[in-house]
A and B are shown apart, each in its own frame.
Chain A
C-alpha cells in the first residue's frame, strides 16, 4: 500500500467503525555524508515514514500509529486507537472541521546537486578546519539533507499535503593543545544546498570555538550577563516555549497561567511567532490540524498577549486558535512554534560582566515548571568594554521570569538558532545574574 492508499484505508475503515478520525502521514528521504581524512567515512541514505491516527469515539480521544502499511497493521492501529480512546475519563474531545487545503511545495529544487558536489562541500569544511590555527582534532564534517512529504486527512473534510526540507553543513572538532582543549559543534542550515558555503562553516566554527580557548576559572559572584543570540535562544526554547504552551497552562504546569494581559518581562522584550516569514526555516502553510498559518504577537513590550494554541486548548480556554498544533505520526496532539523570535532592540553597549557564549545541559539544568535554571556555560569576561579573557567551569543560574524582568538592553541584529526548534534572538543584556565558579 502507498501512503495515500493507507490513509484512505484508515479513514474508510474508521468511518465504518463509527469513529471520527484524523490521519497524519509523513514520508521522509534523507542523505547524510560524513567526511574525515579527506574522504567520506559514512554515507547514509534513507526513505522512511509512517501514519498516525487520532480517533474520537463518544467524545473521547485515542491515538495509534504504524510504519508497517499492511491491512493487519492498519487494523491493529484502529483497534488500539479505539481502546486508547475508551481509557479516557473526560469527554468533550472533537476533531476540528476541516477543509481542502491543497498541495504546497515549500522546498522546490533547493536540494538539487550531484553527489560529487555534496561530497566536495562535506570535505571542504574539513579542509577549512585543517587550514585554521589551533585545530587539535577534526572528529568529522557533515552534509545532510532531508525532504519530507506530509499528508493530512480526516473524516471531517480535512485534506492537504506539503513538501518541505532543508540541508546543512556541520563541523565537529576539538581545538587547543595539552589540557587546554575545547570541543565545538557548528552547523549551517539552509533550504538551498547552493547557499551553503563550506569555507564559511569552517570559519564560523573556528571563530566560535577558538575564542573560548585559554579559558580561566570565573570567580563566583553576581555579574551583568550578555547572552549571545544563540545562547538566549536556548533559554527561550527550554523555558519560554514550555510556559507559553496552552497545553501546559491547562495542565497546571505553567508559571504563566492566569497572567494574560499582565507584565511578565521588561518593556524592551517582545516575542513573536511567524510561520509566514518568506525565508523562515520553520515557515508552514498550516499546522498539524490544518489551521492556516498566522503571525502571533505573544509578548508585546513585556505584556503577555496570548498562549500558543491548538484547536483543543483554544476550545477549553475559550481563546483564539493561534494555529500551533503539532503532531508527528508517532506522537499525540501538542503545541509547537514555527519561527519564534525575540524582537531586536536598539543595541547593546558591552561594559563589565560576562558574555555567555554557550550553555550546556539544558535538559538537566533548566526546569521549565519551576522556571529555575542553573546551566554550565562558556564565555568571556569583559572589563571596561574590553574582553579580558575566556572563562570556563562555571554555571549561570536564575529564574527565567525574573530574567525577563531584568533585561536592560537588546542587540539590533537577529540570529537564528536551529538546534531546538527555530528560534531567533538578538544579544540580550541582563542586569545581574548569579555565576558559580571558583
Chain B
C-alpha cells in the first residue's frame, strides 16, 4: 500500500525525533453490509476505510497518531506532529538512524476464501438470506425475520524500526438471522449468527435454511417460556457461545492491558492455581478460518497457539509489545486493534476451554434444581473486581437431573475468580462461535468456545 522508501523515511524521521521504537500500521478495508427485513432489502451499504497509525515508544511511554491522509506530505506532517507533542511533553534526545533493512513477511493464505466476494453478484447473497428467512417462519407467531450479511476485506501492513515488515490480508464473512415471535403475551426473539474467516462459502459451511429454522425455533421457545427463576443455583452452560462466560470471567483478566498495571485480579499469578483442575484454557491464533484468526497480529508478530491455563494452573498471559515491555513476559502475538484509529493492545483471538472427560449427560445428574443455559448471549466484565454478567438467549430449568421447561430473561452474574474455582466438570463436546469483543483498542472479532460444563453455583437473575 505504501512504498518501502516512504515507510523507511517515516520510521527514520520518528527515530530521529528520539523514539526508541517506531511502528507504522497501514490498512485499507472494503466492507459491505446488507440488511433485509421480511425479504425486502432495508439497507445496503458499502465502504472503503483507509488510514494509517504511527506509534512511537519512548521507553514505555507511547505517542500515537492516525490519519487518512497517506500522501508523503500527510505522513510527514503526522510524524512531525508526534515528535513535537512528545517534545513538548517530555524529552527529546536526537538519535538519527540510517536506512532500514526490512525483513519482509507475507501471508501464506491460511485463511484465504475459496469463494471470493467478486465471484457472485449481490442478488446471490439476498437469495441465500431469503432462504434463511423462509425457514425461520416455523410458526404463525413468527411475525418478522431480519437478516443481515457482513463482508469484510482488510489489507494490512505493519512496519517497524526493528525491521518488521508484515503484510496480511484478512477476509471475514458473517450473516445474522433474527426471528421475532409475537403473541398477546409479548414479543420474543431468536437468532443465529455464524461467521468465519472465509468468503461466500460461509453458506456451504452454515446452511441458511438450518440457521433460519434454529432462529425461528429459539424465538418460539422463548415466546412460550416462563420467566427465569431467581437466586443462586447450579448451572450447566452450553457449548460453543457458552464460552462467552469464560471470555468475560477469565480471558479479559489475563490480558496484559490490565495485568501490567495490576488492575486485574489475576495479576502476578503465573504458576499458581487459579481455576479448578478440570480447566485448561487456550487462546489459539492459528485455527484455519477461525473468526478470530489472522496470520499476523496488528504489531506484525506471527499468530501462535497460547496455553493460558493448564489443569487449573496459570501458564501464560496474553501479551502485546507494550505489555511485554512493562511486565517482561514473552509476547504472544496478541496485539490487536479494531482499525487504524486505535493503538493496539493485548486481546483475545480464538479462546476456548479444552475438552474434558465427563460425558455430557452426567453433568445434569444430581442437580435437584438448577439452570441449563443452553445458548448464551453477550456479556461484560470489570477486570478490577472480576465482576461479570451475561445474558442467556435460551435456557431451561433443570429439575431432579432432567431438563424441563424453557425459561427466558435469565442473567448470570458473579465474580470471575470465584466462578472458575466452581467449575465442577467439563464434558467433551467442544465447539466454538464468533463474537465481537470490545475493549480499549476497539471492537475486534474473536471466537469463544467450550464444551458443556457444570458450574456448581452462580447467581441467576430472573424475575423472582
- The stretch that binds A, out of B282-290, B312-320, B380-388, is B380-388
Residues in A with CB closer than 8 Å to B143 are 252
B462 touches A436 (CB 8 A): yes
Does B209 have its Cβ within 8 Å of any Cβ on chain A? no
Does B413 have its Cβ within 8 Å of any Cβ on chain A? yes
Does B459 have its Cβ within 8 Å of any Cβ on chain A? yes
A361 touches B385 (CB 8 A): no
Chain B residue nearest to A333 (CB atoms) is B43
B411 touches A376 (CB 8 A): yes
Does A222 have its Cβ within 8 Å of any Cβ on chain B? yes
| Choice from B126, B232, B409 contacting A438 with Cβ under 8 Å | B232
Chain B residue nearest to A366 (CB atoms) is B391
Does A182 have its Cβ within 8 Å of any Cβ on chain B? yes
Residues in A with CB closer than 8 Å to B89 are 40, 43, 115, 119
CB contact list, B109-126 vs A, under 8 A: 122-123, 126
Chain B residue nearest to A34 (CB atoms) is B62
Residues in B with CB closer than 8 Å to A41 are 60-62
Does A375 have its Cβ within 8 Å of any Cβ on chain B? yes
B41 touches A174 (CB 8 A): no
Encode B220-261 as 1/0 by CB contact (under 8 A) with A: 001000001011100000000000000000000000001001
B263 touches A65 (CB 8 A): no
CB contact list, B163-216 vs A, under 8 A: 180, 186-189
A394 touches B81 (CB 8 A): no
Cα–Cα, bound, A373→B306 (Å): 37
Does A383 have its Cβ within 8 Å of any Cβ on chain B? no
Residues in B with CB closer than 8 Å to A364 are 377-380, 389-391, 411
Encode A339-352 as 1/0 by CB contact (under 8 A) with B: 00000000000000
CB contact list, B29-48 vs A, under 8 A: 32, 34, 37, 39-48
Given contacts A43-B64, A397-B409, contact A65 B47 (CB under 8 A): yes
Does A116 have its Cβ within 8 Å of any Cβ on chain B? yes
Does B128 have its Cβ within 8 Å of any Cβ on chain A? no
Does B460 have its Cβ within 8 Å of any Cβ on chain A? yes
Does B347 have its Cβ within 8 Å of any Cβ on chain A? no
Given contacts A42-B63, A370-B189, A434-B463, contact A332 B411 (CB under 8 A): no
Residues in B with CB closer than 8 Å to A221 are 464
Output the residue of A84, A330, A364, A398 with the most chain B CB within 10 A: A364
A436 touches B459 (CB 8 A): yes
Cα–Cα, bound, A182→B263 (Å): 11
CB distance from A154 to the nearest CB of B (A): 18
Interface size grouping (class) on chain B: 35 or more
Determine chain B's interface SS by DSSP, over half rule: strand
Residues in A with CB closer than 8 Å to B122 are 83-84, 87
Encode B76-105 as 1/0 by CB contact (under 8 A) with A: 000001100110111000000000000000
A63 touches B391 (CB 8 A): no
A46 touches B378 (CB 8 A): no
- The stretch that binds B, out of A72-80, A160-168, A268-276, A284-292, is A72-80
Residues in A with CB closer than 8 Å to B189 are 367, 369-370
| Choice from B126, B231, B378 contacting A436 with Cβ under 8 Å | B231
CB distance from A50 to the nearest CB of B (A): 7
Given contacts A76-B48, A87-B123, contact A182 B385 (CB under 8 A): yes
Cα–Cα, bound, A7→B450 (Å): 49
A87 touches B389 (CB 8 A): no
CB distance from A132 to the nearest CB of B (A): 16
Cα–Cα, bound, A41→B57 (Å): 10
| Choice from B42, B46, B68, B265 contacting A48 with Cβ under 8 Å | B68
Does A39 have its Cβ within 8 Å of any Cβ on chain B? yes
B62 touches A42 (CB 8 A): yes
CB contact list, A83-141 vs B, under 8 A: 83-85, 87-90, 115-116, 119, 136-137, 139-140
Cα–Cα, bound, A161→B383 (Å): 42
B188 touches A370 (CB 8 A): yes
A139 touches B46 (CB 8 A): no
A174 touches B389 (CB 8 A): no
Residues in A with CB closer than 8 Å to B49 are 50, 67, 330
B144 touches A251 (CB 8 A): yes
Residues in B with CB closer than 8 Å to A136 are 384
Does B348 have its Cβ within 8 Å of any Cβ on chain A? no
B44 touches A67 (CB 8 A): no
Residues in A with CB closer than 8 Å to B464 are 220-222, 434-436
Residues in B with CB closer than 8 Å to A252 are 143-144, 180
Residues in A with CB closer than 8 Å to B186 are 255, 370-371
Cα–Cα, bound, A342→B364 (Å): 47
A437 touches B343 (CB 8 A): no
Chain B residue nearest to A42 (CB atoms) is B62
Given contacts A73-B48, A139-B258, contact A370 B64 (CB under 8 A): no
Given contacts A139-B261, A174-B384, contact A84 B180 (CB under 8 A): no
A68 touches B380 (CB 8 A): no
Cα–Cα, bound, A103→B463 (Å): 52
Residues in B with CB closer than 8 Å to A367 are 189, 391, 409
B46 touches A81 (CB 8 A): yes
Residues in B with CB closer than 8 Å to A49 are 68
Does A183 have its Cβ within 8 Å of any Cβ on chain B? yes
CB contact list, A29-86 vs B, under 8 A: 36, 39-50, 52, 62-69, 73, 76-77, 80-81, 83-85
Given contacts A364-B389, A365-B391, A369-B180, contact A42 B61 (CB under 8 A): yes
Given contacts A39-B61, A65-B47, contact A89 B39 (CB under 8 A): yes
Given contacts A64-B45, A374-B228, contact A115 B67 (CB under 8 A): no
Does B307 have its Cβ within 8 Å of any Cβ on chain A? no
Cα–Cα, bound, A363→B379 (Å): 8
B180 touches A253 (CB 8 A): yes
Encode B4-46 as 1/0 by CB contact (under 8 A) with A: 0000000000000000000000001000101001011111111
Residues in B with CB closer than 8 Å to A45 are 63-65, 81-82, 85
Cα–Cα, bound, A216→B379 (Å): 23
A89 touches B390 (CB 8 A): no
Chain B residue nearest to A182 (CB atoms) is B385
A330 touches B414 (CB 8 A): no
CB distance from B136 to the nearest CB of A (A): 14
Does A181 have its Cβ within 8 Å of any Cβ on chain B? yes
Residues in A with CB closer than 8 Å to B386 are 181
Does B330 have its Cβ within 8 Å of any Cβ on chain A? no
B385 touches A365 (CB 8 A): no
- In the complex, 26 of the A-B residue pairs with CB atoms within 8 angstroms, ordered by the A residue number, are A41-B60, A47-B69, A50-B47, A66-B50, A67-B48, A67-B68, A87-B44, A88-B40, A119-B89, A183-B263, A183-B384, A222-B464, A252-B143, A252-B144, A253-B187, A331-B45, A361-B390, A363-B378, A364-B391, A369-B188, A370-B188, A376-B387, A393-B415, A397-B411, A434-B230, A436-B411
**7 additional A-B residue pairs with CB within 8 Å, beyond A42-B343, A395-B462, A434-B463:** A173-B263, A183-B263, A253-B180, A332-B45, A360-B389, A397-B411, A436-B460
Q: Which 3 A-B residue pairs are closest in the complex by CB-CB distance?
A: A395-B461, A183-B384, A436-B230
Residues of B at the A interface (CB closer than 8 Å) are: 28, 32, 34, 37, 39-51, 60-69, 81-82, 85-86, 88-90, 122-123, 126, 143-144, 146, 180, 186-189, 222, 228, 230-232, 258, 261-263, 265, 341, 343, 377-380, 382-391, 408-411, 413-415, 459-464
